Amino acid sequence: MKILVAIKRVVDFNVRVQVKPDGSGVATDGVKMSINPFDEIAIEEALRIKEAGKADEIVVVTIGVNDAQQQLRTALAMGADRAILVESESEIQSLKAAHSLLHIVEKEQPGLVIMGKQAIDDDNNQTPQMLATLWKRPQATFVSKLEINEDKALATREIDAGLETIEIKLPALVSTDLRLNEPRFVKLPDIMKAKRKPLDVINIDETVAGFDDKELSIENYESPQPRQKGVMVDSVDELVAALKEKGLV
């Protein structure tokens, strides 16, 4: 079985994000970029499935600028076998990303597609569901435990009421939650080996032929308002009065 893992290049989660002075986007010049943390979990799960003898090959793919090869090389250093960069100089939204990934899925014919449930930059949580729908295959989202049994997968997923366990028939798509696993550290010898692993680059136009590119237009970005200082009250009556004044009760 072949596993396809889709990842995204994002600003590292330890970096304090800042908006450009003109409000046109997020400042990324000189900022550390990394693999989206949810996608690292997806890579780790694919590696564990392969190490258990239930997969033969792991292909990792991303959509982004040429510099995203660095994140693909990191995935290769973790243990992936091949990488594909769908090169795009502009930011693309969820539906276009799903259409682009569908082209790769149809070409690679994986038995399982694993993705992070969302990216920490836009927090949309849309692309996995869209891709599964376009692919017309089963999906299991927010997965915190995954078992592969021949042509089926048993997925435990986190829902509002607790945990839900479902069985899906492969090929299928899975999106990962934080509690699925803990990604491994990349070692220096693995980084050196990753430089010799194949990495293909294709233009995004080759993957979205016929896509009706009517996307949302984002006109302006703003930083969150500074947090206001707390107010001390001397009694419950003063607290109730303050809440009524703000229209909260």
The CATH number linked to 82 is 3.40.50.620
In a domain, 240, yes or no: no
pLDDT 10s digits, 158-167? 888 889 999 9
Sequence-distant (6+) residues with CB within 8 A of 66 are: 85, 87, 201
In a domain, 32, yes or no: yes
Evaluate if pTM is beyond 0.85: yes
In a domain, 230, yes or no: no
In a domain, 113, yes or no: yes
Q: How far apart are CA 141 and CA 160, in angstroms?
A: 13
In a domain, 227, yes or no: no
Domain that holds residue 174: 2-222
Domain count, the chain: 1
Residues of the chain with pLDDT under 50: none
pLDDT at 29: 83
Residue with tokens 């696993």: 181
In a domain, 238, yes or no: no
In a domain, 242, yes or no: no
pLDDT 10s digits, 180-209? 999 999 999 999 999 999 999 999 999 998
In a domain, 35, yes or no: yes
